[in-house]
Structure 1
Amino acid sequence: MSDNNQQQEQGVETTLAAKCVRALLERHGVPRNKHSAVVTDVLGLSYSQGNRRLTTRATWELEELRTLAEHYGETLTELVSLGQHDEMEDATLVTGTTSTPCRVARGPAVHKPRLGALVLTKVDADWLVLPAEPNLATQAYDIKRLLVEPSSATSRRIAVLDDHPESAQLIVSYLKTAGFDPVAFTNLDRIAASAAAGEFDGYVLDWIIVKDSIQDTVSDLVAAIRARDAHCPIVVLTGQMRNGIADEAEIATAMAKYRLKFFEKPAPLPIISAALATSFSAA
């Protein structure tokens, strides 16, 4: 029985991680009915374990995803972005007399672009997106991805706290592609100092932070942030609910008192980004 048929018979929605892994394997030419076998071999799992990760809501470890990505010469960020992660650069979209800030992923150079097609070109030190003309004075590039948002959205600074540097960087990388200006922290004291200085417009915080083998929550940090800013979005994450380390009642109280958005890890990165964006829109 193929993975796809088994998944349909079970009627179980798979995780975003499983979808990302399937997309990775498909990009590299692995037939769908071989996906479970490949996951099993690369990760050293039993076939049952490998198949469950792809066909049920079984939890993936971050290290497993990184191992699979590196096996195929990709980064973890590329894997979780469903292969659509491109380096985005600040640019200006020029249409007539209107100039709009944007972010763009540069494609290959084009020598004879179709007249009127949007291309990317550099004028002095600035990247411009504009309709192609017959006699462009500078080299033009194809556009792989164009992101246009209100200027206020592109300037939103987001503090991301996680005591695992790779996890923090993963969130930062995705938020950059969504037009935010994120900064990673792994230390409570440092983010508290930056928050006290009013450097950020929003926060994505791991609820439990470990330092020198001592666990602490971000409850005091959240209280301090709310004392200075009653409306900024605060997204709280944790993967410690099921094992009882994170106190559900404490988190629920904080959610109600400080108007937090809460997601269990591994939280889909697009959901985190959307939670921030909708909070800013409602403000």
Structure 2
Amino acid sequence: MRNATSIAEFVMSASTPTTSNTAPPSLAAQCVSALLDRHAVPRRKHAAIVTEVLGLSYSQGHRRLTTDATWTLEELGTLAEYYGESLSDMVSLGRSEAMLGAMLKIGSTLVPCRFARGPAVHKPRPNALVATLIDSDWYVVPATSELATQAYDIVRMVIEPSSALSRRIAVLDDHADSAATIAGYLKSAGYDPTPFTDLRSITAAAEGRSFDGYVLDWILEKDGTRNTVHDLVASIRSRDTHCPIVVLTGEVQTGVADETDIATAMARYRLKFFEKPARLPIISAALAASFAA
């Protein structure tokens, strides 16, 4: 694993301009692109994600990904942490296996997990843990001679909190990319997320089915009109006094979001609040802690 010095040297060398008239993307930019690819972010959305997570202008984010523009160690670390990876994993340029969401099945017990898939194996060792795809879902199971589907070696496996098992989470953000990114991470952590992009659809869904928790953007904008999720939160609490509700916003510093309103709602409705760009592992941990409590 790279130490801090070698990683810093890597970033500096990756950001050194070339003498070409059209400098190619730096090695740091290639690492960031590989990170986003591993997390299923469409290439056309890479600059938008970098812009949002790092608080840059769109042109700054685009230049970092497409030219030899300089990246700082802190920026790379922030992006890695946002997707739950270490900086060393990130600068591997994707040579290490991506982690896949799965269920560890031992007898009748199911536990959420993530694993790095190795090569296919045709005669696995008896009782060794292998990964197999069953009805489009990954399972980690003890190898047996009766295993009917292709088995794969497991390079690495991470057990997720058991509280995530089958928990239904509603995710609301008026930016579809952000809603999909949060939902995608929660799914990899073992939750059952449903993304929404407007108040009307999530309000109808919340009244029609029972969600176990919510991750909500505090301010939503549609057709030039801004609204908060205050009324939605009040409605949720009237039906469920215990479910975790996580509220996010990046508009406190801009003054668009009223700190007093948020603080009052936190005290009245027992909300968990994080400023954007919120770290996905922290959101997942906040949900897990609420369920455990």
Tell me if TM exceeds 0.5: yes
User: How far has the Cα of 1:93 moved from its partner?
Assistant: 1.6
SS in 2 for 1:155: coil
Aligned to 2:83: 80
Match of residue 275, structure 2, among 242, 256, 264: 264
Match of residue 12, structure 2, among 12, 33, 39: 33
Find the aligned partners of 2:147 and 2:204 in 1 and give their Cα distance.
Answer: 49
SS in 2 for 1:194: helix
User: How far has the Cα of 1:59 moved from its partner?
Assistant: 4.3
* 1:234 matched to 2:245: yes
Aligned to 2:189: 178
Find the aligned partners of 1:126 and 1:215 in 2 and give their Cα distance.
Answer: 39
SS in 1 for 2:154: strand
SS in 1 for 2:263: helix
> C-alpha deviations, 1:196-229, integer Å up to 9, x for none?
1233110000000001110000000000000010
Is the 1:102–1:146 Cα contact (8 Å) retained in structure 2? no
Aligned to 1:93: 105
Find the aligned partners of 2:54 and 2:158 in 1 and give their Cα distance.
Answer: 32
User: Which of 1 and 2 has higher RCO (CA within 8 Å, sep 6+)?
Assistant: 2
Aligned to 1:113: 124
User: How far has the Cα of 1:234 moved from its partner?
Assistant: 0.3
Distance 1:138 1:269, change over 3 A: closer
Is the 1:160–1:171 Cα contact (8 Å) retained in structure 2? yes
Gaps of 5+ in 1: 6-21, 44-57
Is the 2:164–2:190 Cα contact (8 Å) retained in structure 1? yes
* 1:157 matched to 2:152: no
SS in 2 for 1:191: helix
User: How far has the Cα of 1:81 moved from its partner?
Assistant: 3.8
Find the aligned partners of 2:248 and 2:149 in 1 and give their Cα distance.
Answer: 46
Is the 2:101–2:138 Cα contact (8 Å) retained in structure 1? no
Distance 1:104 1:216, change over 3 A: same
> C-alpha deviations, 1:83-119, integer Å up to 9, x for none?
5753424x4523xx55434445444312343454211
Output aligned runs, 1:1-283, within 5 Å.
31-35=10-14, 37=16, 59-61=54-56, 80-82=83-85, 83=90, 86-89=99-102, 91=103, 93-94=105-106, 97-105=107-115, 106-121=117-132, 128-132=139-143, 138-144=149-155, 146=157, 148=159, 153-282=164-293
User: How far has the Cα of 1:276 moved from its partner?
Assistant: 0.5
User: How far has the Cα of 1:177 moved from its partner?
Assistant: 1.3
User: How far has the Cα of 1:67 moved from its partner?
Assistant: 7.5
Percent identity over the alignment is 53
Distance 1:85 1:250, change over 3 A: farther
Find the aligned partners of 1:62 and 1:183 in 2 and give their Cα distance.
Answer: 29
| TM-score in terms of structure 1 length | 0.69
- Comparing 144-153 with 252-261, which one deviates more in the overlay? 144-153
The root-mean-square deviation of aligned C-alpha atoms, in Å, is: 3.8
Find the aligned partners of 1:173 and 1:125 in 2 and give their Cα distance.
Answer: 16
- Comparing 119-128 with 162-171, which one deviates more in the overlay? 119-128
SS in 2 for 1:31: helix
Aligned to 1:14: none
In the comparison of the two structures, how many residue pairs are matched?
Answer: 237
Find the aligned partners of 1:69 and 1:81 in 2 and give their Cα distance.
Answer: 20
Distance 1:277 1:250, change over 3 A: same
